[in-house]
């Protein structure tokens, strides 16, 4: 079913993505991005019909931490707002649905985290089944290693190809002033480094990042008023694979292919930004999306160059939208993932006029 309304990304802004946003609370960290996204289109919070954020209390070490962050929006007198305990890309989806339903014409969406105060690979174990997986405290890197091993065993990737994926992303990030890891050692040098969780080396893993991103959506004429070149959302869909890792073929993520189909992510794209926190996962995402050769892949450096958990998926949408609005791309696709081993996936197709 075609969307009822044309909705576009009209403004994006991100924080610097850094290992530790020392000296800043989460609220202070995300405030400049929210403010910049509004300022870019000369808007204020009173122009925004709906606000939705994505973040995690487990990362913040604080219950209902997102409520504090709303101070950075200017949430008093009360605004219409919601929150997802997921990547901000799912907050964007909720906002898009809200606009499609006619309950708002404009929306502010943001996703962020400070992963630095806790032990991220351990915190992420709390996403897992609490009966069979949680008591084993399987850290996120070792879990990703199971998936990488499955791909290596199946001949779906090689360690050289994994290193090349890290090299390409981090080399691309050299041009991204917001990225955390900019530039890369050579593939040969990367392969000479030790394993951190055999078969994964450090370069196979996304960095641990503090940061966030804010995006403004607008429908129809609202979008045209705010932007000379809105990045129209032509399709958006999200799907989920089983949380039962032992029942999955870990070399695949059918939910990506299904979300892509439902979002109309076929044909050619000038640019693709995919959310792959581990090198081998980029191969899975690209294969499931069926991306054609010649698509510029992760020009920002992707999650391997900066991975603010709960923001890195929304950041992919922002990076594609920014290029469309700047006129350097005509049509693009963004992918976001949430959960572990590409469990939940969102695909968003964006296009200029």
Partner 1 sequence: MGQQARADDELLHAPLVIEYGFNRTTGPVVGAFLTGLREQRVLGIRGADGRVVCPPVEYDPTTGEPLTEMVEVGTEGTITSWSWVPGDREGQPIPAPYALALVRLDGADTAMLHVVDAGSPDAVATGDRVRIRWADERSGSITDIACFEPVGGAS
Partner 2 sequence: MSPAESDRTLSTMPTDVWSQPSVDVPDLGGVEQVQRITVPASMRYDYSPGLTQTRFLRALEEKRILGERTPGHEDVYVSHRGVDPVTGLPTTEEVEVGPHATITAFCVVHIGFGVNAPPTPFVSALFLPDGAAVSLYGTVGGISHEDVRIGMRVEPVWVDDADLTTSMENIRYWRPIDEPDVPAEQLKGHM
Q: Encoding tokens for residue 9?
A: 């990304």
Tell which one of 80, 101, 103, 122 touches partner 1 (CB under 8 A). 122
Tell which one of 136, 192, 292, 326 touches partner 1 (CB under 8 A). 136
Cα Rg of the chain, angstroms: 19
Task: Determine, following the binding rule CB under 8 A, whether residue 39 of this chain makes contact with partner 2.
Answer: no
Task: Determine, following the binding rule CB under 8 A, whether residue 132 of this chain makes contact with partner 1.
Answer: yes
Residue 281: CB minimum distance to partner 1, A: 14
Q: Are 231 and 351 in contact (CB under 8 A)?
A: yes
Task: Determine, following the binding rule CB under 8 A, whether residue 134 of this chain makes contact with partner 2.
Answer: yes
Q: Encoding tokens for residue 132?
A: 């069979």
Q: How far is CA 25 from CA 29, 101, 113, in A?
A: 6, 35, 10
Site for partner 1 in 2-41 (CB under 8 A): 22-23
Residue 21: CB minimum distance to partner 2, A: 9
Q: Which of the stretches 75-83, 182-190, 231-239, 326-334 binds partner 2 when contact is defined by CB under 8 A?
A: 75-83
Residue 128: CB minimum distance to partner 2, A: 11
Q: Which of the stretches 126-134, 261-269, 314-322, 343-351 binds partner 1 when contact is defined by CB under 8 A?
A: 126-134
Tell which one of 61, 102, 267, 290 touches partner 2 (CB under 8 A). 61
Tell which one of 2, 22, 63, 247 touches partner 2 (CB under 8 A). 22
Nearer to partner 2, 73 or 200 (CB): 73
Task: Determine, following the binding rule CB under 8 A, whether residue 103 of this chain makes contact with partner 2.
Answer: no
Q: Which of the stretches 95-103, 129-137, 151-159, 228-236 binds partner 2 when contact is defined by CB under 8 A?
A: 129-137
Residue 3: CB minimum distance to partner 2, A: 30
Nearer to partner 1, 143 or 336 (CB): 143
String marking each residue 166-195 x if it binds partner 1 according to CB under 8 A: -----------------------------x
Residue 212: CB minimum distance to partner 2, A: 14
The entry of partner 2, partner 1, none that residue 76 binds, CB within 5 to 8 Å by partner kind: partner 2
Q: Is 249 exposed, middle or buried (0-12, 13-18, 19+ CB in 10 A)?
A: exposed
Nearest CA to 9 out of 31, 36, 33, 41 is that of: 41
Q: Which residues bind partner 2 (CB under 8 A)?
A: 22-25, 27-28, 31, 34-35, 45, 58, 61, 68, 70-77, 117-119, 122-123, 126, 130-131, 134-135
Binding residues for partner 1 (CB under 8 A): 22-23, 61, 117, 119, 121-122, 130-133, 135-139, 142-150, 153, 195-200, 242, 244-247, 250
């Amino acid at each position: 079913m075609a969307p009822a309304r044309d909705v576009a990304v009209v403004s994006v802004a991100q924080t610097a993505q850094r290992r530790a946003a020392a000296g800043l609370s989460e609220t202070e960290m995300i405030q400049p991005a929210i403010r910049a996204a509004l300022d870019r289109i000369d808007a204020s919070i009173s122009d925004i019909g709906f606000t939705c954020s994505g973040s995690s209390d487990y990362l913040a070490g604080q219950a209902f931490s997102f409520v504090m962050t709303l101070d950075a929006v200017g949430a008093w007198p009360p605004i219409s707002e919601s929150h997802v305990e997921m990547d901000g890309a799912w907050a964007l989806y909720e906002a898009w649905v809200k606009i499609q339903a006619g309950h708002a014409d404009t929306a502010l969406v943001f996703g962020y985290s400070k992963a630095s105060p806790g032990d991220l690979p351990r915190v992420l174990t709390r996403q897992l089944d609490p009966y069979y997986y949680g008591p084993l405290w399987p850290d996120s890197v070792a879990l990703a290693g199971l998936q990488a091993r499955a791909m290596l065993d199946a001949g779906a990737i090689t360690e050289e190809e994994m290193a090349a994926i890290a090299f390409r992303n981090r080399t691309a990030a050299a041009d991204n002033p917001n990225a955390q890891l900019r530039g890369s050692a050579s593939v040969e040098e990367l392969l000479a480094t030790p394993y951190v969780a055999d078969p994964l080396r450090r370069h196979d893993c996304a960095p641990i990042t503090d940061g966030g991103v804010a995006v403004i959506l607008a429908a129809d004429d609202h979008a045209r008023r705010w932007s000379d070149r809105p990045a129209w959302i032509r399709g958006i869909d999200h799907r989920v694979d089983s949380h039962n890792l032992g029942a999955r073929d870990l070399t695949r993520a059918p939910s990506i292919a299904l979300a892509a189909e439902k979002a109309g992510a076929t044909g050619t794209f000038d640019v693709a930004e995919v959310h792959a926190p581990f090198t081998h996962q980029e191969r899975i995402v690209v294969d499931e999306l069926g991306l054609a050769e010649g698509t510029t892949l992760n020009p920002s450096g992707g999650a391997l160059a900066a991975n603010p958990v709960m923001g890195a998926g929304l950041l992919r949408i922002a990076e594609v939208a920014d290029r469309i609005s700047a006129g350097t791309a005509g049509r693009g696709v963004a992918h976001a993932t949430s959960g572990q081993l590409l469990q939940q996936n969102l695909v968003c197709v964006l296009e200029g006029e």
